[in-house]
A = this chain, B = another copy of it.
Amino acid sequence: MGKIDIQQLDDIANHLRVDSIKMTCAAKSGHPTSSCSAAEIIATLFFNEMKLDKTLPKNPSSDRFVLSKGHACPVLYAAWHQAGHISTNDMMNIRKITCDLEGHPTPRLDFIDVATGSLGQGLSCAAGMAYVGKYIDKASYRVYCLLGDGECAEAFASYYKLDNLVAIVDMNRLGQTQQTMLGHDADTMAKRFDSFGCHAIVVDGSNVVELLNAYSTARQTKGKPTAIVAKTLKGKGIVGIEDEDNWHGKPVPESTIEAIEQILTNKADIAGTLQMKPPVNDAPNVELPIGHIKMAPPTYSLGDKVATRQAYGTALAKLGDACPRIIGLDGDTKNSTFSEKLLKKHPEQFVECFIAEQNLVGVAVGLQCRDRAIPFASTFAAFFTRAADQLRMAAVSFANIKCAGSHVGVSIGEDGPSQMGLEDIALFRTIPGSIVFYPTDAVAAERATELAANTRGIAFIRTGRPACPVIYSNDEKFEIGKGKIVHDANKPKALIIGAGVTLYEAKKAADKLQLESVEVIVMDLFTIKPLDKDLIVKSAKRAENRIITVEDHYQAGGIGEAVCQAVSDQKDIRVRSLFILDVPHSGPPDVLLEKYGISAKHIVDAVHQSIHPPN
C-alpha cells in the first residue's frame, strides 16, 4: 500500500470524526468521544481491510463487523455515509423516531447483524458468526469485532489487590459430558489467572505437600490474589472410575470404599476428633442497625423537578452518614445512577466494580455475608439482566442486598432499547421474598432507599432518568406494601394505577377526564411487591370496579399482571392494562410514551373504553 493511500485513510478517519461530531450535535446527545478514538480503526477496516457489499450489505459472502461498543455507532454510521449508503440527511436525523440510525445500533439497519449497546456481548455473537463461516458455510468471509476497553473488566480481585483471596481450581479434566476446554493443560489455565493479575501456581492437586506449599506461598504473596491450579483426577481413588468419562453426578458402587479404606495408615474412625486451626479474633464486632438506620429527611419543595435516580443518590449518601457499613457499588455508571454522591461523601464506603454486572452482584452478595455490610449495587436497570443468575442465587443464599436500577423504560429516550429497563420489574419480582420499590418522586425515592436499608433481604429500587416534579411533602410517611391515592373523586368511574413516569401521565389523564366530567381515582403503588391489594380492591370497588394499569415496562411480570393477579379472586373487577408492546425505538421521551401507548392520551382512551367497552 502506497503513501497516498495511507494519507487517504488518515483523511477518511478525520471525515469520520467530523461526521460523528456533526451527528451528535444535531441529536443533542450521543457519544462522539467514544467514536473519535476508533476513527482510524473504522477507516482502515471499512476502506481497506474488509470486503463489503455496499449495495447489498447483508450479502452472505461479505465480511462481518460487530460493534460491541455499540455506543460508538456514530463512527460506524459515518463510515456507511462516506461509502454512500446513508444520505447526509439521514445521518443528521440520528436518534430521531423517524430514523433507524438509533442511539445504539440494531438490525433495523441493513448493515447491522446484531444489536449492541449492552456491553460485553459482541464477541460472543462474532464468535458465532465466525463459527458458521468456518465450519458451516466453509466460506472465506472474516468477522471483525470492535470492543471497548471498558467492557473487558473481569479483573476485580487483582484490581483491588485482594491478597487475602485464594482461588483453587480443581482441574479434574472431565466435565459432565466430555473433556473440558483445557483438559489437563494446567499451564494455560495458570497463564489465564496470571494475565488477570493473580499469582498463579500449578500443583499436583492430590499431593498434600504441594498443596501446603502453595497455600504458604499464597499467604506470603502481597498485593495480588493467588490462584492455585490443582491438577486432579475426577473420581480420584475410586478403582475403575478414576479419570473415566460418564461418571458425572452418579453414585458409585459402595464396594469401591474398601480399597480406599485399605490404604489408610490409621484405620481408626477419626470422625469428630479432628482439630481445625482457630481463627485470630481480629474482625471487628459489627451489629448492623437494620430497622433503626435513620436518614436525614428529604428537603424538597413541592414541584421541584428532581429525577428519582438523583434522589436515590442523595438518600444513599445520607444513609452512608448514618451507617458506616452501608456500601455503594456501581458498574461504571455512578454519575448516571448518582451513587457517586456516596463516593464523594464517603469514599471508603464505595466499591467501583466496572462494567461486569454479574460480578457487581456477586461482589455485593459476598460483601453482605456474615452481616459485614449492607451493599447497595447500582447500574442501569436493564443491565441487571446480566446478573439474573446471580440474583436468583442470591435468593437461595438468603442474601441481604439492595439493587438500584436507573434509566428505566422508554422514558430514557434517545439512547434506544438496549439501554431501557423493560423487564426489570419482572426480573426482581421473580426473586423469592424480594421487595420491589418503584418510587414516583424524589421524596418517595429517598424513603424507598431508607426502607430498603432497614429491611433484610433482596430489594430493588427502580429509578427513572427524567426529572419530574416532587408531589409528596417531605414528611409524607411511606411503608412497604402501602400505596397512595394521589387523586381522588366523589363518584369515580375508574381507578388508574401507575408508578414513576406513568403516574404523572395518569394525573394528566385525570385532569383531562375531569374536563369531561369523568371522575377517576389515581393510585401510586410505591411498592410493586408487595402490592397494596387492600387499597387496590377497595378503590376499585369505589370506582365502579374498573381498573386501568399503566407502566413503562413490558407486560409479562409487570404491574398489570401483578394487579390482575391481586384482584383475581374478586368478582366484577375488570382490569385494562397499558404497557410497552414492542421493542422500542430511539426518540424523545414524550414521543416514545405516546408511540408505545402509555401516555395520558392513551390512558384517557383506556378509561373511555373501560366505561364503554366495544363489543
Contacts and interface: CB of A to CB of B under 8 A. Distances in A.
Contacts of A527: none
A515 interface: no
A171 B144 contact: no
B115 A396 contact: yes
Interface in A292-328: 325, 327
Contacts of A247: 33
27 contacts: A7-B265, A9-B212, A11-B265, A17-B237, A17-B238, A18-B257, A27-B251, A31-B249, A36-B238, A37-B236, A46-B276, A51-B276, A84-B272, A124-B363, A127-B157, A127-B162, A127-B225, A131-B363, A145-B165, A148-B169, A155-B181, A383-B389, A385-B388, A385-B392, A426-B426, A429-B557, A565-B575
A13 B237 CA distance: 10
A130 interface: yes
Contact of A372 (B121, B137, B188, B581): B137
B555 A565 contact: yes
B392 A382 contact: yes
A22 interface: yes
Contact of A153 (B8, B168, B181): B181
Interface string A486-530: 000000000000000000000000000000000000000000010
A476 interface: no
Given A155-B181, A162-B134, A208-B13, A571 B569 contact: no
A114 interface: yes
A329 to B, nearest CB: 9
Interface in A101-126: 106-108, 113-118, 121, 123-126
B577 A568 contact: yes
Which of A84, A130, A373, A560 has its CB near the most chain B CB atoms (within 10 A)? A130
B557 A561 contact: yes
A336 interface: yes
Given A38-B205, A115-B397, A219-B142, A1 B212 contact: yes
Interface in A1-58: 1, 6-15, 17-19, 21-22, 24-25, 27-34, 36-41, 43-54, 58
8 tightest A-B CB contacts, nearest first: A128-B366, A124-B362, A557-B557, A33-B235, A84-B272, A429-B556, A37-B172, A388-B388
Contacts of A371: 60
Given A118-B393, A170-B149, A335-B176, A280 B9 contact: no
A423 B235 contact: no
Interface stretch (A62-70, A448-456, A463-471): A62-70
B392 A251 contact: no
Nearest to A54: B276
Contact of A36 (B235, B283, B355): B235
Contact of A564 (B18, B248, B369, B561): B561
Nearest to A204: B40
Given A33-B247, A127-B162, A175-B332, 9 more contacts: A7-B265, A13-B208, A21-B254, A60-B286, A71-B249, A131-B351, A148-B169, A149-B169, A423-B430
A365 B279 contact: no
A395 B189 CA distance: 35
A176 B157 contact: no
Nearest to A563: B568
Contacts of A58: 370
A155 B133 CA distance: 18
B575 A569 contact: yes
Contact of A47 (B52, B232, B274, B569): B274
Contact of A145 (B13, B168, B351): B168
A41 B211 contact: yes
A386 interface: yes
A189 B365 contact: no
Contacts of A351: 131
Nearest to A116: B393
Given A136-B372, A170-B37, A180-B354, A254 B362 contact: no
B126 A366 contact: yes
Contacts of A261: 14, 18
Contacts of A332: 175-178, 180
A532 interface: no
Contacts of A290: none
Given A36-B238, A38-B232, A52 B84 contact: no
B71 A277 contact: no
A145 B363 CA distance: 13
B274 A84 contact: yes
A190 to B, nearest CB: 9
A3 to B, nearest CB: 10
Contacts of A215: 44-45, 48-49
A564 B554 contact: no
Contact of A131 (B160, B250, B370): B160
Contacts of A123: 157, 167, 362
A144 B555 CA distance: 43
A122 to B, nearest CB: 8
A388 B422 CA distance: 12
Nearest to A375: B128
Contacts of A582: 432-433
